[in-house]
Amino acid sequence: MEQQLIHPAALNIDDLSTYYHQQTALHHLSFEAPAHAITVIIGPSGCGKSTLLKTINRTIEDEEDTRWDGTVTLFGDDTKKMSKEEVHTKIGLVFQTPAPFPFSIYRNMTYALAYHGMHDKQQQCSIIEEKLRIVGLYDEVYDRLKESACALSGGQQQRLCIARALTVNPDVLMLDEPCSALDSKSTHAIERTLKSLSKTTTIVLVTHNIGQARRLADKVIYLSDGSIVEQGSAQQMFTQPRDPRTAEFIDDIGSAV
């Protein structure tokens, strides 16, 4: 029996298709990401995982000759009725390669706050501390906030990028293979962060690492060739996949790690 996901949907994706230069990259995807849970998207390279995240938060619209159809609703609100900036704020996206801005740690953390008109130093400092603590970085950097973010290690940079995304309190945090460039110690630090963060924030995670998917997922979506092959609770997907293609992918990639 499939374990029921008890949380209501934070994100509701309905009949979503994305096109690059008239070529279809995503075909009529429909799924929900439950609130305060981790939805993990797995699938082979080139199947459309990054395209899906970019479509959900509408960064795809900044690329030339792209188009998407369908509906994305966030707690019932159609994101097409929001400005792109509002969608970026409510649905954060952290990329595969840690990409801090080439400024100080402090300025990375206040960048979005300043954009949203929050200039009060005391308030900024308390938000910085709160968010850096969530990602376990505060004790490592509190005495060098004015130093360049680029001097941090890869794992620290990625945790900074997560903390930076959290400064504007997104409803949903999406991460695109956030640990693929990191060692196992940094990977585990990020996994711990995501697990505890999921109590308050909805997380959508793309990962190549099936061990990571097993450790973190509440729900799993298996994407292949731009289509959803199967989706379900993590327990069902990992123990009793219904589609033989899901079982094959999990076995193959699991044994390759």
Ligand X SMILES: Nc1ncnc2c1ncn2[C@@H]1O[C@H](COP(=O)(O)OP(=O)(O)O)[C@@H](O)[C@H]1O
Residues engaged in binding ligand X (CB under 6 A): 20, 25, 43, 45-51, 63
207 is an interface residue for Mg ion by CB under 5 A: no
Q: How far is the CB of 206 from ligand X (least distance, A)?
A: 7
List for the chain the helix, strand, coil content (%; round to 5): 45, 25, 30
39 is an interface residue for Mg ion by CB under 5 A: no
Q: Are 108 and 137 in contact (CB under 8 A)?
A: no
Q: What is the C-alpha separation between 24 and 217, in angstroms, rounded?
A: 28
C-beta closer to ligand X: residue 45 or 122: 45
For residue 14, the 8-state DSSP code is E
C-beta closer to ligand X: residue 25 or 210: 25
Q: Could you tell which of ligand X, Mg ion, none binds residue 51, using a CB distance below 5 to 8 A set by kind? A: ligand X
Q: How far is the CB of 45 from ligand X (least distance, A)?
A: 5
Q: Are 42 and 58 in contact (CB under 8 A)?
A: no
Contacts of Mg ion in 81-110 (CB under 5 A): none
The answer for residues whose C-beta is within 8 angstroms of residue 34's C-beta and 6 or more apart is 5, 6, 7, 8, 9, 10, 202, 218, 219
50 is an interface residue for Mg ion by CB under 5 A: yes
Residues of this chain that bind Mg ion (CB under 5 A): 49-50
